[in-house]
Amino acid sequence: MLSRAKTIQEELIHNRRYLHRNAETGFRLHKTKTFITDELQSMGLSPYEVGGSVAAVLDFGGSTNTLLLRADVDALPMQEKSELSFACKTGNVHACGHDMHAAMLLGAARLLTEQKDKLCGRVKFLFQAAEESLEGAKAALDSGALKDVRAAMTLHVMTDSPYSTGTVVVADGVSAPAADFFEVKIKGKACHGSAPQNGVDAISAAAHVLLGLHELSARELSVSNPAVLTVGQITGGHSANVIAEETVFKGTLRAFDESVRENVKKRLQAISSSIAKAFRAKAKTAFVSGCPTLVNDRALSELAYLAAKAVSGKENVFRSSALTGSETAQKSGGSEDFAYISHAVPSVMLALAAGERKKGYDLPLHHAGVRFDEDALCYGAAVYAQVAVEYLKGESHGKGK
């Protein structure tokens, strides 16, 4: 599969660069979706819109067993600083490599259409919107994207990586943490800055609440079941000589264990309201969006492991359980809304090295200047396609081929 993928490397690069130059975010993906739709149509497929994403089914016949191959395709709203010749100039940037994913999955579709007579069953391609806001997978699911789907696979590129391009890491079990975006509103009472006895200071109360929340990870969680709580934004007050009426802070919570997640959410609420109350203020906590843990299915992980070895060579594929410390690149703490799909059908997410640190690919994902090694494109296309071939292998026996 890899040698075949290498013959379409130029097409992969061309597609990736078009998507990169025209980076779009969230569900506003007009150019991105038009391009993907045209490409799929040129392969004889019939793409359609599902929950703001684009899907297409490749039907080999003989069976309705369907594998979903998913790529996220949205970018981030930042000014690109990569200085690449095809850099995006519209204030968006593909800093998470989703342009790479989209080009790889288009490549896989091309490779799999060539297998028409060799396989049975179906492959559904999902080019997913709005991963960065953790909304796209759920929207696709709610619109029926998983109808007939029995298993799902996706991959994510790694850069600033210790591994050579094309290396694949397969995580066992939970491969990405649950994430919750929260907002805490502290309500006080405004008054003149010279007479604090007449008001309730929402800024001061918020400061105590914030410190209280950090006690959670320090004093209530075990080393084996941690959670990370980050407050990344705080706003409050209008004037230097007025006691602030309201303060709002926003943050994220990550946990690898669903029961830890639920417990921390409860404690976050309790600590916020109790501490605010101690300072005569009121706290209101809201969880505005989020996604569950991403769970890799054991059998599908094994299948993907074999498929990846067939593509990248056995010395370039690792199980994350065999890695230690900082090598566990896959269990990095970043969340993924493919998690929703993994809770609906047996699923697996792979990590694909697309930029080795010592070769100069030394900026992390989400950095405005990040670069990816395009040599990874043919590996990604081949891995997607090979997973489908391995998955549908059992089906093809029924066809007698």
Site for Zn ion, rule CB under 5 A: 96
Nearer CB in complex with Zn ion: 96/151: 96
Q: Is 216 helix (H, G, I), strand (E, B) or coil?
A: helix
Query: Containing H/E element for 267?
Result: helix 258-278
Q: Could you tell me how many residues make up the chain?
A: 401
Nearer CB in complex with Zn ion: 15/335: 335
What is the smallest separation between the CB atom of 365 and Zn ion, expressed in angstroms? 6
How far, in Å, CA of 157 to CA of 166, rounded?
10
What DSSP letter does each residue of 234-254 carry, written as one string? Answer: EEE-S-TTEE-SEEEEEEEEE
Nearer CB in complex with Zn ion: 128/316: 128
Nearer CB in complex with Zn ion: 71/146: 71
What DSSP letter does each residue of 49-84 carry, written as one string? Answer: EETTEEEEEEEEES---EEEEEEE--BBSS---S--
Taking a C-beta distance cutoff of 8 angstroms, is the pair 182, 285 a contact? yes
Is residue 289 classed exposed, middle or buried when 0-12, 13-18 and 19+ CB atoms within 10 A define those classes?
middle
Provide the residue type at 171 as one letter: A
Nearer CB in complex with Zn ion: 181/306: 181
How far, in Å, CA of 94 to CA of 228, rounded?
26
**Alpha helices, H only, 88-236:** 98-113, 136-142, 202-219
Nearer CB in complex with Zn ion: 72/395: 72
Nearer CB in complex with Zn ion: 295/303: 295
- What is the Rg, in whole angstroms, of the alpha carbon atoms belonging to the chain? 23
* Residue nearest Zn ion (C-beta atom): 96
How far, in Å, CA of 169 to CA of 155, rounded?
10
What is the smallest separation between the CB atom of 288 and Zn ion, expressed in angstroms? 18
What is the smallest separation between the CB atom of 29 and Zn ion, expressed in angstroms? 15
